Structure 1
Amino acid sequence: MDFQTAVKTCIAKYTDFSGRASRSEFWWFFLAQIGVLIVTSLIHRYIYAIAALGLLLPGLTVGARRLHDIGKSGWFLLLGIIPLVNLVLIYFFVQPSQPESNAYGAPPSA
């Protein structure tokens, strides 16, 4: 999946916690999110706050769908709250996709 397709998919599925997201979809959206937040922080803090709030839900949904892709529950996103334990999330996010269908659906196409 390329950058533009990943961002469009994540924005379109901003309320869809079901299904699976490929590794490339997750990381391209993460890169776009970081880029937007850096640029908006240089403009004004209120614009940054609006952008951060606007990208919060799509970021959570793509994170949950990425965890579904490796066979984990989306509730593992709560590990991000615990200092140092949240490194487990990074480990989960870099894992390859399960090639077969799992409880969360068929593998993503890209």
Structure 2
Amino acid sequence: MEYFLQVLKKYAVFSGRARRKEYWMFVLFNLLFSIAAGVADYVLTGTGSGAISGLYAIAMLIPSLAVGVRRLHDVGKSGWFTLILFVPLVGVIWLLVLDCTEGNAGENEYGPDPKAMFAY
């Protein structure tokens, strides 16, 4: 939950780098909250999509893009590389591979290594 809140604190920060753990914990909690919003919509309106899940999706759009861009920065790619999603099938797979790849050790053009900051 700490990483989810950390991403929300950086709501529209597209600079810097995001560790794999930060990205995937955000994805996990975002998925859980999306399911909870869908359940709440179903209980209140009888459909799985409604005002609550819609508002939640809109609220999470910018932080999701921001953490995705920061994750790409960690592997040394530009944030514009997110647009590879528009390439059918191959784009999604390639972006998934990049999101699972360990970030560049040490500083790169997008900032210092976030993993080195937590090394004990």
Same fold (TM over 0.5): yes
Distance apart, 1:5 and its partner CA: 2.1
Which runs of no fewer than 5 residues in structure 2 stay unpaired?
42-49
Segments of 4+ in structure 1 off by > 6 A? none
- 5+ unaligned residues in a row in structure 1: which ranges? none
SS at match of 1:43: helix
Match of 2:96 among 86, 90, 96: 90
Aligned to 2:67: 62
**Does residue 37 of structure 2 align to residue 31 of structure 1?**
no
Q: What letter matches 2:29 in structure 1? A: A
Q: CA deviation at 1:83?
A: 2.1
- After TM superposition, the score normalised by the length of structure 1 is 0.92
Q: Which residue of the partner structure matches residue 105 of structure 1?
A: 111
Name the structure 1 match of 2:86.
81
User: CA separation in 2, counterparts of 1:51 and 1:82?
Assistant: 27
The CA distance in 1 between the partners of 2:71 and 2:24, in whole Å, is: 10
Percent identity, please: 36
Amino acid at match of 1:93: D
Mapping of residues 44-59 of structure 1, within 5 Å: 44=41, 45-59=50-64
Give the corresponding residue for 1:17.
14
SS in 2 for 1:48: helix
| Equivalent pairs, count | 107
Quote the Cα distance in structure 2 between the aligned partners of 1:57 and 1:15: 6
One-letter identity of the residue aligned with 1:48: S
